[in-house]
Structure 1
Amino acid sequence: MYHTWMRYFTPSPTHHKLGLVCLGVGLQHGALPTVGPRTLDHHVAVVVSAGRGWYRGPEGRRIAVTAPALIWLIPGTPHHYGPDPATGWDESFVDFTGPATATYTELGYIEPDRPVVPLTDTAAARAAVGRIARAARRGNPLLEVETGAAVHELLVALRRARADMGADGDPVLQALARDAFQPLSVAEHASRHGMTPAALRAAVRRGAGCSPKDYLLGIRLGRAKELLVATELPVAAVARRVGYDDPAYFSRLFTRRVGLAPVRFREQQGRAVHGGWSHRIPDPEHPPTISTGPT
């Protein structure tokens, strides 16, 4: 016995320009029928929350699937899968497509070469699927945009839930972020982590989709923007705070990557922060509010 609920959509060409569109969503559990062999023209994320089963790709090798796990169905790739008939499984799936899938693949969020991905849990992923399911009510005028936005959320949730990654992300990227403002070369960063420069480049490319230099630059420029906006520090002092001893070089780099010189960026975005700049992330359940005391 099994239970199935699913809904399918046909987004317009205009909605495809958003980058990702949702083509379908489903929630199923029990001793579900075997899927395939078949080949699709779009992506599907199959999230298995409980139970076990199997997956077989084009090479014919049978891979065990034990919850919590993710099965990637990639366009143009023959596949065949199903739950163990003795136990069944709990499954949710989302069909999606769009030009942004190429970027998500480059960044490692979608993994064509690893069709079965162990997860630590599926709560966040199922929450994103639930948002798609709720948006799928008949007559919802925001259907395509709501469901497309939830696919972005789903991909992030699945990346964060990967069993080979800590809750805060890749440890190599965490270590680089911690040391980002120190004037170190890529080779020196690699040596600190007991890696060769080539191994570091491969790890960062796999985890962030860019080179170590670009990853560090993004962190440095983000912090420089905060200092320019929230303080009156001279540009030279901002440059030193984010790891550049040569303020002229920092200004050229900032201008090239941001599109504005540091001084111009400050003019556009700067504001006095009378209460002081905080590094504490606000609690989403209790965000900062305007205090309205008695008059």
Structure 2
Amino acid sequence: MYHSWARSFSPRPVHHRLGLVCLGVGLQHGALPPVGPRTPDHHTAVVISAGSGWLRTPDGRTRPVTAPCLLWLLPGTPHHYGAARGAGWDEAYVDFTGPAADAYTELGCIDPDRPLVPLTDTTAARAAVTRIARAARPGNPLLEVETSAAVHELLVALCRARADAPRAADPLLQALARDAFLPLSVAQHAARHGMTPAELRSAVRRGAGCSPKDYLLGIRIGRAKELLAATELPVAAVARRVGYTDPAYFSRLFTRRIGTPPVRFRARHGARVPSPEHPPVITPPTSA
């Protein structure tokens, strides 16, 4: 015995320009029948909140599935899975597609090599699925926009809930952020933490979805934007503040990352934000 609810959507071409579009959503629980073998032409995130079952991967292996976990069903990749006999499992699924899926894959939020991902919790992911289900009400004029936003939210929630994901206070990432403005190479950063460069790359990729170089660059450029917008420091001084002794090299990096030179960025955004060294104090309103 099982219970199933599902809806399918047909977004127009303009909605695909949002980056991700939702093609369908479903909520099911109980002794569900097996799915597949089949090969989809889109992505599906299957969130298992309770129960157990099995997943047969393209290499012919059958792997046990135990909640909480995520099944990634990828376009062009055969899949075959099912709930265990008896009580079955509790599942929510979302079908989606769009060019932003490639970016989420590059950032590590979608891992093609891990069709089965253990999760620590499914609360946030189920909340995103519930938003999609609620958006499916009859006559909703913002259906495609709401469901697109919820798919982005779902991918972030699933990335945070991975059992191997570092917690918010990851000490390695915190230490790298603290030392980001020091004139250190990636190898020197690794040595400071008793790691090889390869170990550091693996840890940062797992935690931040990018290389250590990109992680440090993002922090440096972000600080540079704050200084350019909120102070009158010369570009050379800003470069030194964020760890670059060569202003020309800093300007090239900034332009490549932001799409505009530091001087032009300042002309567009200067004096629009408080100094990062003197953040504003927000006083809560007092009740009458």
TM-score w.r.t. the length of structure 1 is: 0.87
AA aligned to 2:118 is: P
The answer for the alignment partner of 2:278 in structure 1 is: 277
Q: CA deviation at 1:109?
A: 0.9
The answer for the alignment partner of 1:122 in structure 2 is: 122
Q: CA deviation at 1:209?
A: 4.6
The answer for the alignment partner of 1:147 in structure 2 is: 147
Give the Cα separation in 1 of the matches to 2:83 and 2:110: 22
The answer for the alignment partner of 1:49 in structure 2 is: 49
Give the Cα separation in 1 of the matches to 2:277 and 2:177: 24
> Measured at CA, do residues 74 and 214 of structure 1 come closer, stay the same or move farther in structure 2, by a change above 3 Å?
same
Give the Cα separation in 1 of the matches to 2:202 and 2:280: 31
The answer for the alignment partner of 2:220 in structure 1 is: 220
| Maintained 8 Å contact 2:165/2:206 | no
Give the Cα separation in 1 of the matches to 2:277 and 2:237: 18
- Superposed CA deviations along residues 65-109 of structure 1, whole A, max 9, x for unmatched, are 111110111112221111112222111000011122122112111
**1:1-295 counterparts in 2 under 5 A?**
1-168=1-168, 172-271=172-271, 273=274, 277-278=278-279
Q: Secondary structure at the match of 2:22?
A: strand
**Number of corresponding residues:** 287
Give the Cα separation in 2 of the matches to 1:222 and 1:142: 34
Q: Secondary structure at the match of 1:112?
A: coil
Q: CA deviation at 1:120?
A: 0.6
| Maintained 8 Å contact 1:108/1:207 | no
Q: CA deviation at 1:59?
A: 1.7
> Measured at CA, do residues 10 and 193 of structure 1 come closer, stay the same or move farther in structure 2, by a change above 3 Å?
same
Q: Secondary structure at the match of 2:177?
A: helix
Q: Secondary structure at the match of 1:254?
A: helix
| Maintained 8 Å contact 1:239/1:246 | yes
Could you tell which deviates more after superposition, 31-40 or 254-263?
254-263
Give the Cα separation in 1 of the matches to 2:213 and 2:128: 33
Q: Secondary structure at the match of 1:93?
A: strand
| Maintained 8 Å contact 1:72/1:114 | yes
| Maintained 8 Å contact 2:230/2:276 | no
- Superposed CA deviations along residues 169-199 of structure 1, whole A, max 9, x for unmatched, are 8654443223211111111011122222233
Identity within the alignment, %: 74
AA aligned to 1:226 is: E
Uncovered stretches (5+) of structure 1, i.e. residues with no partner: 281-287
Q: Secondary structure at the match of 2:77?
A: coil
Give the Cα separation in 1 of the matches to 2:259 and 2:30: 55
- Superposed CA deviations along residues 18-53 of structure 1, whole A, max 9, x for unmatched, are 221101001111111111222211111000111111
Could you tell which deviates more after superposition, 269-278 or 232-241?
269-278
> Measured at CA, do residues 191 and 275 of structure 1 come closer, stay the same or move farther in structure 2, by a change above 3 Å?
closer
AA aligned to 1:97 is: T
> Measured at CA, do residues 44 and 169 of structure 1 come closer, stay the same or move farther in structure 2, by a change above 3 Å?
farther
Give the Cα separation in 2 of the matches to 1:79 and 1:44: 11
Q: Secondary structure at the match of 2:139?
A: coil
The answer for the alignment partner of 1:285 in structure 2 is: none
| Maintained 8 Å contact 1:230/1:277 | no
| Maintained 8 Å contact 2:230/2:275 | no
Q: Secondary structure at the match of 1:81?
A: strand
Give the Cα separation in 2 of the matches to 1:275 and 1:105: 33
> Measured at CA, do residues 120 and 292 of structure 1 come closer, stay the same or move farther in structure 2, by a change above 3 Å?
closer
- Superposed CA deviations along residues 219-270 of structure 1, whole A, max 9, x for unmatched, are 1010111122223444343323222234444334323432333333223212
